[in-house]
């Protein structure tokens, strides 16, 4: 035998060679081909923050595994990649380092691209795009103008966070505890004009089409449906006669409100308006306290989470309004929790049945009136009322009625109870706590379907839907009407920022807001600005701002606001298909590739990005740019990769994050983190477990892993660590194990190549000849694992595919090696292992596939199929339970009838021992699984 040195596993060389081969052969170039089924696999493109982190590795490995798997199954695959390149971090970096956002962004892209390439993803780089390229964003502008023409885009005022010191608009992220991140100044709300996209015009379709997205996780569809929030309610007005200085009725004497709980209208004990409401402004004229309160409401956060958690405060206006059904006088308050931008900026308050109103009423000692009860509660109250009435009637006729209706026992009890006041006390709810606003052990009063009105005059006894209808009917004569209300709001896209896509509008003193003509697109963003934190640097760029009006030619000014970066990411998936077309946003190629067959990205995008993309798709369809109505057929929401983050909020405002390497971490006896201090000066830091991100200084760069172990190890480890949808706390313990496994695969394959390969018969005999038992068992195990792995891959559970590969190798290493049968079974097993492993670890499997003579290119091999003939077995083992506890096992023929199994079970020694002589009451036989004797 020839002396032969087994080649060592050297990932750096092996991986570079594999990538060179793919590059040379243009292996991942995607070409439209109508003869094959297509598979468009897309991972959410990254923001070029500087370096990849483990969340990226997870995301893109998942996409790559699916892409390669489908390619092996005969699909024409497309996996593109690009850059979500506009955004705030580039401006923050500019403020810190005085580097233009453009340069910073392009440098980051170059570095991260090289990292992605080192990971060996099967990406068609010919289709690469970056949203900050004029060739891309010109189509943002173009479609925006089309939307403007159709009335989908429009202008109105928006509320923003205003930093009074820097004189600039702040992103929510830049507001920390109500103060500006750089100045520490208390942030104000400010109303400024901005452009909106009418996503609410598509609300019905966005909601209805969720039902067609059966390839989406249920939780994402639920979140979107809740976000869209369709509810039917009633809009109506309270009357008033408040007049302004000129004597005119404010708002025509009507205070409009909207409610989804019109059934509680008789429970209204006050109304509340937003600080900006005209009635509030009017009331504050001669009321300094109220004026001060209104001023205070204008400060603070615009964020919903803050609005919901802040202390609910209010002041009476001294005004009253008139209840439209009872004519009662209702006090009018100003509340900091009422938003001018929702509905009409006013609410009716029913403290008994709305938790927020309840809290407000308790705080300010306002009356609470219960008007909803469970049906049971209502019936008892009605009975008591009948008894009371009849008791007071000398004729007393209807005790008989009670008898016939309720039987003697109940009728008597009702009479007796009536005598004692306790009978009513049972139904009085406790007004101390919201949670006690319902009788014990009964349905919550917030369950619409199970409750009825009480104390509500004509509506008593009506259930939710009937009561709402009746109230709406009664309000109709006063202008009230049933109305569908959406939680979804139109999408404000104007950003007072530099590093984004310019909004293509020119402001002319004579012609107003003039759209930039199509032939002047794109409006190119100058790339040499350096933001300094004091507002949009475009405002200082005369060369950008000053322009002739396209209509009248007079001197005019360009809009300096840029678009929300969610615009950029709302259609990139379609542009990949039509990349390079400078004459149109999309072309026919988009209709070939769309929909995206599999979209992969973080769960944090479950609502906004995905909803905006769905909306934009529908607009593109309506504009005739694309035929599909939903962009993403299947969605895999990757769980977040979490890591520890350490932060400190200095006195002057802001938030500083520190790398964990700079922190003394304190832990308790169990190793749980209890706190940490900055090594440098002992500053006490806050700890959070959160997603990896550059801004939090907690990203783990995969580069060290790649350098030390190779890309295949990094990929394998990431897939093996947990199922894709699960949140994953980062921990690199176990990387060694992944690398060890790949080394074993390498050595085993080289060993096979050297010793066994020559003995494999030219023509396969497997499947015909009967194998010796040991080999048949081995082959059965291999095929069983393969079957499981294919099943797991189909359900996108990659961690068990990885462990399946390990099981195959374990089995192969223990296999007998004598004779041609063994060589053949091992060869078949190895070829299955390499192919199953190849989507996860493409480099090592590429090399071994060729080395072992299985073929030229594993990319072009077929996905292996488990042979049913290898799986059959004559006998099966059943577990044997007595009273549900495992007491032994039973070997029976695979096709044994139930009664034979039952008899064998009862005769079993272990079973008899634990039955302790008692007769079997019941025997449960689950074929192929178990026997349970109940005695």
Partner RNA sequence: GCCGGGAUGGCGGAAUCGGUAGACGCAGCGGAUUCAAAAUCCGCCGCCGCAAGGUGUGGGGGUUCGAGUCCCCCUCCCGGCACCA
Answer whether 64's CB lies under 8 Å from 839's CB.
yes
**Is the Cβ of residue 66 or residue 760 nearer to RNA in the bound state?**
66
* Contacting residue, 122, 169, 372, 915, with RNA by CB under 7 A: 169
Which of the residues 228 through 287 are near RNA (CB under 7 A)?
Answer: none
- 10 Å CB burial of residue 240 (0-12, 13-18, 19+) is buried
Q: Does 495 bind RNA (CB under 7 A)?
A: yes
Q: Does 509 bind RNA (CB under 7 A)?
A: no
CA dihedral 337, 341, 346, 347 (to 10 degrees): -60
* Contacting residue, 27, 99, 207, 223, with RNA by CB under 7 A: 223
In 3D space, the residue among 546, 478, 533 whose CA is nearest the CA of residue 506 turns out to be 546
Which of the residues 432 through 471 are near RNA (CB under 7 A)?
Answer: none
**Is the Cβ of residue 27 or residue 530 nearer to RNA in the bound state?**
530
* Contacting residue, 186, 470, 879, 904, with RNA by CB under 7 A: 879
How far is 98 from 680, CA to CA, in rounded Å? 26
**Cβ 489 to RNA shortest distance, Å:** 4
How crowded is residue 659: how many other Cβ atoms within 10 Å of its Cβ?
Answer: 12
- 10 Å CB burial of residue 538 (0-12, 13-18, 19+) is buried
**Is the Cβ of residue 105 or residue 845 nearer to RNA in the bound state?**
105
* Contacting residue, 321, 472, 642, 685, with RNA by CB under 7 A: 642
Which of the residues 802 through 861 are near RNA (CB under 7 A)?
Answer: 803, 806-807, 810, 813-814
User: Residue 139 phi/psi, 5° resolution?
Assistant: -80, -25
**Is the Cβ of residue 467 or residue 880 nearer to RNA in the bound state?**
880
Interacting span for RNA (CB under 7 A) from 100-108, 170-178, 588-596, 749-757: 170-178
Q: Does 186 bind RNA (CB under 7 A)?
A: no
How far is 611 from 625, CA to CA, in rounded Å? 19
**Cβ 439 to RNA shortest distance, Å:** 15
Q: What radius of gyration, in Å, describes the C-alpha atoms of the chain?
A: 36
Q: Does 170 bind RNA (CB under 7 A)?
A: yes
* Contacting residue, 336, 494, 562, 908, with RNA by CB under 7 A: 494
* Contacting residue, 67, 613, 800, 838, with RNA by CB under 7 A: 800
* Contacting residue, 124, 564, 712, 824, with RNA by CB under 7 A: 564
Which of the residues 321 through 380 are near RNA (CB under 7 A)?
Answer: 355
CA dihedral 759, 761, 762, 763 (to 10 degrees): -170
The single residue listed with the structure tokens 């003995």 is 759
How far is 77 from 31, CA to CA, in rounded Å? 9
**Is the Cβ of residue 105 or residue 838 nearer to RNA in the bound state?**
105
Which of the residues 100 through 159 are near RNA (CB under 7 A)?
Answer: 158
How far is 107 from 93, CA to CA, in rounded Å? 12
The stretches of 209-297 forming alpha helices (DSSP H) are 218-228, 278-284, 288-297
* Contacting residue, 194, 504, 531, 535, with RNA by CB under 7 A: 194
Which of the residues 710 through 769 are near RNA (CB under 7 A)?
Answer: 720-723, 726-729, 731, 733-734, 736-738, 740-741, 743-744
**Is the Cβ of residue 226 or residue 520 nearer to RNA in the bound state?**
226
Answer whether 746's CB lies under 8 Å from 713's CB.
no
* Contacting residue, 674, 767, 883, 894, with RNA by CB under 7 A: 883
Which of the residues 66 through 105 are near RNA (CB under 7 A)?
Answer: 84, 86-89
Which of the residues 369 through 428 are near RNA (CB under 7 A)?
Answer: none
**Cβ 309 to RNA shortest distance, Å:** 5
* Contacting residue, 269, 617, 881, 908, with RNA by CB under 7 A: 881
**Cβ 155 to RNA shortest distance, Å:** 13
Cα 299 to its chain centre, rounded Å, is: 30
**Is the Cβ of residue 410 or residue 929 nearer to RNA in the bound state?**
929
Interacting span for RNA (CB under 7 A) from 144-152, 383-391, 508-516, 793-801: 793-801
**Cβ 679 to RNA shortest distance, Å:** 23
**Cβ 536 to RNA shortest distance, Å:** 11
How far is 104 from 529, CA to CA, in rounded Å? 12
**Cβ 809 to RNA shortest distance, Å:** 7
How far is 798 from 65, CA to CA, in rounded Å? 9
How crowded is residue 796: how many other Cβ atoms within 10 Å of its Cβ?
Answer: 18
Which of the residues 522 through 561 are near RNA (CB under 7 A)?
Answer: none
Cα 712 to Cα 65, 826, 892: the distances in Å are 12, 23, 44
**Cβ 617 to RNA shortest distance, Å:** 18
Which of the residues 598 through 637 are near RNA (CB under 7 A)?
Answer: 603-609
Interacting span for RNA (CB under 7 A) from 137-145, 386-394, 656-664, 884-892: 884-892
Answer whether 371's CB lies under 8 Å from 450's CB.
no
How far is 525 from 527, CA to CA, in rounded Å? 6
What's the distance, Cα to Cα, between the start and end of the chain in Å? 67
**Cβ 741 to RNA shortest distance, Å:** 7
**Cβ 653 to RNA shortest distance, Å:** 16
If residue 755 lies in a helix (H) or strand (E), which one and from where to where? helix 735-755
* Contacting residue, 1, 31, 34, 305, with RNA by CB under 7 A: 305
* Contacting residue, 135, 201, 788, 912, with RNA by CB under 7 A: 788
Answer whether 726's CB lies under 8 Å from 799's CB.
no
**Cβ 110 to RNA shortest distance, Å:** 18
* Contacting residue, 308, 419, 554, 894, with RNA by CB under 7 A: 308
Q: Under rule CB under 7 A, how many of the chain's residues touch RNA?
A: 103
Write the DSSP symbol of residue 605: G
Interacting span for RNA (CB under 7 A) from 163-171, 236-244, 266-274, 316-324: 163-171
3-state class (DSSP) for residue 819? helix
Answer whether 588's CB lies under 8 Å from 565's CB.
no
Regarding beta strands 641-648 and 684-691, do their DSSP bridges make them parallel or antiparallel, or are they unpaired?
Answer: antiparallel
Interacting span for RNA (CB under 7 A) from 204-212, 313-321, 563-571, 831-839: 563-571
Q: Does 566 bind RNA (CB under 7 A)?
A: yes
Q: Which residues of 461-492 are buried (b: 16+ CB within 10 A; e: fewer)?
A: bbbbeebbebbbebbeeeebebbebbebebbb
Q: Does 172 bind RNA (CB under 7 A)?
A: yes
**Cβ 123 to RNA shortest distance, Å:** 19
Answer whether 55's CB lies under 8 Å from 15's CB.
no
Cα 538 to Cα 141, 171, 497, 529, 534: the distances in Å are 17, 18, 8, 8, 11
How far is 170 from 186, CA to CA, in rounded Å? 12
In 3D space, the residue among 254, 300, 261 whose CA is nearest the CA of residue 277 turns out to be 254
**Cβ 69 to RNA shortest distance, Å:** 18
How far is 611 from 569, CA to CA, in rounded Å? 11
- What DSSP line would sit under 363-382, residue for residue? HHT------EEEHHHHHHHH
How far is 345 from 429, CA to CA, in rounded Å? 31
* Contacting residue, 13, 23, 33, 173, with RNA by CB under 7 A: 173
**Is the Cβ of residue 322 or residue 443 nearer to RNA in the bound state?**
443
How far is 50 from 55, CA to CA, in rounded Å? 14
Which of the residues 663 through 702 are near RNA (CB under 7 A)?
Answer: 671, 688-691, 693, 695
Interacting span for RNA (CB under 7 A) from 21-29, 167-175, 617-625, 628-636: 167-175
**Cβ 710 to RNA shortest distance, Å:** 14
* Contacting residue, 6, 126, 212, 226, with RNA by CB under 7 A: 226
**Is the Cβ of residue 679 or residue 814 nearer to RNA in the bound state?**
814
């Amino acid at each position: 035998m020839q002396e032969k040195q087994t080649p060592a596993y050297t990932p750096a060389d092996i991986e570079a060679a594999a990538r060179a081969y793919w590059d040379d052969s243009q292996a991942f170039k995607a070409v439209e081909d109508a003869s094959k089924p297509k598979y468009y696999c897309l991972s959410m493109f990254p923001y070029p923050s500087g370096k990849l982190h483990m969340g990226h590795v997870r995301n893109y490995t998942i996409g790559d595994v699916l892409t390669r798997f489908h390619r092996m199954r005969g699909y024409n695959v497309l996996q593109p990649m690009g850059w979500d390149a506009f955004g705030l971090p580039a401006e923050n970096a500019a403020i810190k380092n005085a580097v233009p956002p453009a340069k910073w962004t392009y440098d980051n892209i170059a570095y991260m691209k090289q990292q992605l390439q080192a990971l060996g993803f099967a990406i068609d780089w010919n289709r690469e795009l970056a949203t900050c390229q004029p060739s891309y964003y010109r189509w943002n502008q173009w479609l925006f103008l089309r939307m403007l023409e159709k009335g989908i885009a429009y202008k109105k005022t928006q509320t923003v966070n205003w930093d009074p010191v820097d004189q600039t608009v702040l992103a929510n992220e830049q507001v920390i505890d109500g103060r500006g991140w750089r100045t520490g100044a208390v942030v104000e709300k400010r109303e400024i004009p901005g452009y909106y996209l009418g996503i609410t015009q598509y609300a019905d379709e966005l909601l209805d089409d969720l039902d067609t997205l059966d390839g989406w996780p249920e939780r994402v569809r639920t979140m979107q449906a809740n976000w869209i929030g369709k509810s039917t309610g009633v809009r109506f007005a309270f009357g008033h006669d408040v007049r302004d200085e000129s004597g005119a009725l404010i708002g025509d004497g009507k205070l409009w409100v909207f409610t989804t709980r019109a059934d509680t209208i008789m429970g209204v004990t006050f109304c509340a308006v937003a600080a900006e409401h005209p009635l509030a402004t009017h009331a504050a004229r001669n009321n300094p306290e109220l004026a001060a309160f209104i001023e205070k409401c204008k400060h603070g956060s615009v964020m919903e989470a803050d609005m919901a958690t802040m202390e609910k405060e209010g002041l009476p206006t001294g005004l009253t309004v008139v209840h439209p059904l009872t004519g009662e006088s209702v006090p009018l308050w100003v509340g900091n929790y009422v938003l001018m931008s929702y509905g009409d900026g006013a609410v009716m308050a029913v403290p008994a049945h709305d938790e927020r109103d309840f809290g407000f009423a308790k705080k300010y000692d306002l009356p609470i009136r219960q008007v909803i009860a469970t049906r049971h509660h209502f019936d008892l109250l009605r009975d008591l009322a009948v008894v009371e009435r009849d008791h007071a009637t000398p004729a007393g006729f209807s005790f008989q009625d009670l008898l016939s209706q309720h039987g003697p026992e109940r009728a008597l009890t009702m009479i007796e109870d009536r005598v004692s006041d306790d009978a009513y006390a049972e139904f009085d709810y406790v007004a101390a706590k919201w949670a006690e606003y319902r009788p014990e052990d009964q349905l919550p009063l917030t369950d619409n379907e199970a409750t009825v009105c009480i104390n509500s005059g004509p509506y008593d006894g009506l259930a939710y839907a009937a009561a709402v209808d009746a109230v709406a009917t009664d309000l109709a004569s006063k202008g009230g009407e049933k109305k569908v209300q959406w939680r979804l709001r139109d999408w404000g896209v104007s950003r007072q920022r530099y590093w984004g896509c310019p909004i293509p509008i020119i402001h002319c003193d004579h012609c107003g807001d003039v759209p930039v003509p199509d032939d002047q697109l794109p409006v190119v963003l100058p790339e040499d600005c350096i933001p300094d934190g004091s507002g949009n640097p475009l405002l200082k760029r005369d060369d950008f701002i000053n322009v002739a009006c396209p209509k009248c030619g007079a001197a005019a000014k360009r809009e300096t606001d840029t678009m929300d970066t969610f615009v950029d990411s709302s259609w990139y998936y379609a542009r990949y298909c039509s990349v390079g077309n400078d004459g149109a946003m999309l072309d026919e190629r988009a209709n070939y590739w769309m929909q995206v067959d599999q979209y992969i990205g973080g769960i944090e995008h479950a609502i906004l990005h995905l909803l905006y993309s769905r909306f934009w798709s529908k607009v593109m369809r309506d504009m005739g740019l694309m035929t599909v109505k939903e962009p993403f057929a299947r969605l895999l929401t990757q769980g977040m990769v979490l890591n520890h983050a350490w932060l400190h909020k200095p006195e002057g405002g802001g938030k500083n994050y520190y790398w964990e390497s700079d922190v003394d971490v304190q832990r308790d006896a169990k190793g749980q983190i209890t706190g940490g201090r900055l090594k440098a000066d002992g500053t006490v830091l806050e700890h959070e477990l959160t997603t990896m991100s550059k801004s939090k200084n907690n990203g783990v760069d995969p580069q060290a892993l790649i350098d030390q172990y190779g890309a295949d190890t990094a990929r394998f480890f990431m897939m093996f660590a947990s199922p894709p949808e699960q949140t994953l706390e980062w921990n690199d313990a176990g990387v060694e194990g992944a690398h060890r496994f790949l080394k074993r695969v390498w050595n085993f394959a080289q060993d096979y190549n050297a010793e066994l390969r020559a003995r494999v018969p030219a023509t396969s005999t497997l499947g015909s000849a009967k194998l010796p038992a040991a080999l048949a068992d081995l082959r059965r195990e291999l095929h069983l694992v393969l079957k499981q792995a294919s099943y797991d891959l189909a359900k996108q559970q990659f961690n068990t595919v990885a462990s399946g590969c390990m099981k195959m190798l374990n089995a192969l290493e223990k296999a007998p090696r004598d004779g041609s049968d063994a060589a053949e079974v091992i060869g078949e097993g190895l070829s299955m292992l390499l192919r199953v492993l190849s989507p996860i670890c493409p480099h090592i499997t590429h090399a071994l596939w060729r080395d072992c003579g299985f073929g030229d290119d594993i990319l072009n091999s077929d996905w292996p199929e488990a042979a049913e003939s290898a799986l059959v077995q004559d006998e099966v083992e059943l577990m044997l339970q007595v009273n549900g506890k495992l007491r032994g096992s039973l070997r029976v023929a695979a096709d044994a009838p139930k009664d034979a199994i039952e008899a064998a079970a009862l005769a079993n020694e272990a079973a008899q021992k634990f039955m302790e002589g008692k007769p079997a009451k019941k025997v449960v036989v689950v074929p192929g699984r178990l026997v349970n004797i109940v005695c």
